[in-house]
Chain A
Amino acid sequence: MSNTSARESIFARLHSARSAGLPYAPVPEKWEPAPIEDKKARVARFVELMTAMRSEVYQVKGDEWVGKLQEILAERGLKNLVYGPGTEIAKKLESAWKGKKDVGAELVPWKNDVEEFRDELFAADAGITTTMGGVAESAAMILWPSPQEPRLLSLVPPVHFAVVKADRIWTSFAEAIRELDWSAKAPTNALLISGPSKTADIELILQFGVHGPTDLIVFVVE
């Protein structure tokens, strides 16, 4: 491969382009929507915009989301729910399922490397993840997949449940970047997710569920 020489000649041209005398461009300004100071208003904006993106949002207190989750699973006849063991929500899920025998959906832990789990994952009905929080003005949840909650957990199962803590909802992406010390701490894959998978590639008609989840169900937890 002529890789090194390609690199050298590209950089040679780039450097000589500079010496050709360039127009001055200052360090760019920042752009950021004005912060919504009031938490209630911030959460309300998040819920409003997420819903407009076709996400189903439930505002719940404490551990109420577990009951709501079981209700939805039963209502829609979802047969199983994949989760990542070892997270904050995992314990709650496990104990809720232990106590209740009549939950229709089976709780499936993702334990192994995807190579051993891929077929099961592609056959799953639903998955659940935690989030790092939400962004009100962008109508997005922030996901930082981890060894416990791998990347594909929020992508492959057709229904994605996500838990967002109300006091981790920021106004803007820019604010979240600062608050989370994103540049330094982000994992190998980080995501903003604003709704179910969608496309408008046929006659610009909006349709949902093209490759990723067809449904995104969000619990905003106070």
Chain B
Amino acid sequence: MASNKTFDFKQNIAGALADKQLRSNFKNATDTLRGKRLAVFTDPEETLRLRHVGNQIKRAGLNRLPELLEQLEAKCKENGIIVHWAETVDEANNIVLSIMEQHGAHKMVKGKSMVSEEMHLNKFLEDKGKLPLETDLGEYIIQLNNEPPSHIIVPAVHKNRKQIGQIFADNIPGVSYTEDTAELLAIARGRLREHYRTADIGLSGVNFAIAESGTLCLVENEGNGRMCTAVPPVHVALMGLEKVVGTLEEVPALYRLLCGSATGQRITTYFNMIKGPRKPGEKDGPKEVHLIILDNGRSKILADKQLRQTLQCIRCGTCLNHCPVYTRIGGHAYGSTYPGPIGEILMPQIEGLDKKGNLATASSLCNACEEVCPVMIPIPALIRRLRDESYDMDENGVVKGHGCKKNLLETVIWKAWKYMQVYPLLNTIMLKKLQLFGNKLPKVGPLKAWTSVRTAPKFARQSLKDLAKKEGIRNE
């Protein structure tokens, strides 16, 4: 996937902006999703109350994270679920592989899991000669075309039906081109049902893991998640460690927030709650259930009072649909598992500011994401914080790669600025100089880039301060 190659965000953006088809696919999709969300959350006061409850549940959960995870582990074990811990994606990948090898498994059917995307699990398993098959329709489409998802809820949203028809015709033997969505659906259904029936192992994500009962909750519409977790003899569930909640009573609010924010639904077709493998006497269900709990930098994020709010995210994707940047450049330009506003705050913390810090620049700080986030993550404030950490002027940075953008020239300029503000006389002298010569500054370097698409501001002949003085306004 793109994030493993050298990542040139600027170039990606230019490419995405030039692709008219892509822009219109994204615009249509995000417009629709925003409208659908509004149709469910009709009462602003009630919505705010619900979001407030969601925020509290996730914050309270993070405050008790070690206890909840211990409880979850103990309860899962009691229920017969085998629990694994992985610090890194490498470890998690190898755990999946070793489970497959224990069972001599070759074919894996996969339900939608963003953590598996984070792990680049498909690529890893393919390299080991295994056959991981995506079954969520959107994921199926992009796997056929060998692409990463462009949206965390609707992964193939960047493709229209003509493009999908072509992907099917090019990649599924015996299938000829059609742009009829019902036909496309029937083709996928036929293929995938055969795979469920014959797969050796099923994999899924986890939307909420309930600590008090050791229950894994999966939210979906298609039924592929149920197929993957109930048909094959072995089920492996992947979760980021922040997905744990305390009790079942907390779930209805989060579930409502997730459905409404993600797809504008009151409820999804299926809410699947798994408490363990097949028990004696039961006629179906997997004989073995594994839960892999992944850290991958999350425990480090928890250590910072402000940044830990990133971990409240329930992966609803609505911040993507409301972001003026995402809706124009689409998901792939971010070159990251998680695009859009959530990606801008999560990826730099997971992979480091030196690698993904640029993502935090892709925001106009318009606050749209914060206004809709169902768990009230102050995304713009976190973006500003990460920008600060990239320069790390105060040298208090905690995020991996902090201070990566610091350079001598900028440091000197900012220091000078600070000095000027402290000594008013210096400030006055500098202002006078700019009034005289500011408009004649040569347009080189960053100034050239800036003015290539914008008009440079003109320095007024008299400063505001002077004008105020003339008018007799004193406010010093």
Contacts and interface: CB of A to CB of B under 8 A. Distances in A.
A75 interface: no
Contacts of B53: 28-31
B324 to A, nearest CB: 20
Given A20-B305, A25-B59, A207-B185, A3 B84 contact: yes
Interface in B336-369: none
Contacts of A204: 28-29, 32-33, 154, 157
B299 A17 contact: yes
B249 A30 contact: yes
Interface in B25-77: 28-29, 32-33, 49-50, 52-53, 56-57, 59-60, 62-63, 65-66, 69-70
Q: Give the residue among B66, B157, B221 with the most A Cβ atoms within 10 A.
A: B221
B302 interface: yes
Interface string A159-182: 000000000000011100100001
Nearest to A207: B185
B331 interface: no
Contacts of A138: 266-267
Contact of A139 (B182, B248, B267, B274): B267
A211 B227 contact: yes
B156 A201 contact: yes
A140 B272 CA distance: 12
A119 to B, nearest CB: 8
Contacts of A28: 53, 56-57, 59-60, 250
Contacts of A31: 49-50, 53, 252-253, 256
B148 interface: no
B223 A210 contact: yes
Interface stretch (A56-64, A108-116, A125-133): A108-116
Interface in A197-212: 197-205, 207, 209-212
A117 B213 CA distance: 31
Contacts of B160: 203
Nearest to A196: B269
Given A1-B94, A197-B223, A211-B193, A202 B285 contact: no
A212 B56 contact: no
A172 to B, nearest CB: 7
Interface stretch (A66-74, A89-97, A98-106, A185-193): A185-193
Interface residues of B, number: 99
B213 A186 contact: yes
A201 B53 CA distance: 30
Contacts of A174: 249, 252
A155 to B, nearest CB: 5
Interface string B151-193: 0001111001100100000000000000001101100110011
A209 B193 CA distance: 12
Q: Give the residue among B136, B252, B279 with the most A Cβ atoms within 10 A.
A: B252
A172 B52 CA distance: 19
B224 A211 contact: yes
A13 interface: yes
B258 interface: no
Contact of B284 (A26, A49, A139, A150): A150
Contacts of B249: 30, 174, 177
A173 B219 CA distance: 15
B270 A113 contact: no
A10 B299 contact: yes
A76 interface: no
B241 A10 contact: yes
Contacts of B87: 6, 9-10
A14 B222 contact: no
B182 to A, nearest CB: 7
Contact of B182 (A1, A22, A182, A207): A207
A198 B272 CA distance: 15
Contacts of B222: 197-199, 210-212
A207 B276 CA distance: 31
Nearest to B289: A188
B305 A23 contact: yes
Contacts of A41: none
Interface string A1-45: 111001101110111111011111111111110000000000000
B283 A10 contact: no
Contact of A189 (B184, B192, B275, B295): B275
A113 B274 contact: no
Contact of A152 (B193, B230, B271, B295): B230
A7 B86 CA distance: 7
Nearest to B87: A6
Contacts of A192: 267, 270-271
Interface of B: 28-29, 32-33, 49-50, 52-53, 56-57, 59-60, 62-63, 65-66, 69-70, 79, 84-87, 91, 94-95, 98, 135-138, 141, 154-157, 160-161, 164, 181-182, 184-185, 188-189, 192-193, 196-197, 212-213, 215, 221-224, 226-227, 230-231, 241, 247-253, 255-256, 263, 266-279, 281-285, 293, 295, 299-300, 302-305, 308
Can you list the 7 inter-chain pairs with the closest CB atoms, starting with the nearest?
Answer: A212-B223, A25-B59, A201-B138, A114-B284, A13-B299, A192-B271, A31-B253
Given A110-B283, A114-B231, A173-B252, 15 more contacts: A1-B95, A14-B302, A22-B63, A28-B59, A28-B250, A29-B56, A119-B197, A155-B227, A172-B252, A173-B251, A174-B249, A194-B267, A194-B269, A204-B28, A211-B223
19 contacts: A1-B98, A6-B86, A20-B305, A114-B283, A122-B197, A147-B283, A150-B284, A151-B230, A155-B226, A177-B248, A183-B213, A189-B272, A189-B273, A190-B275, A198-B221, A199-B185, A202-B181, A207-B182, A210-B223
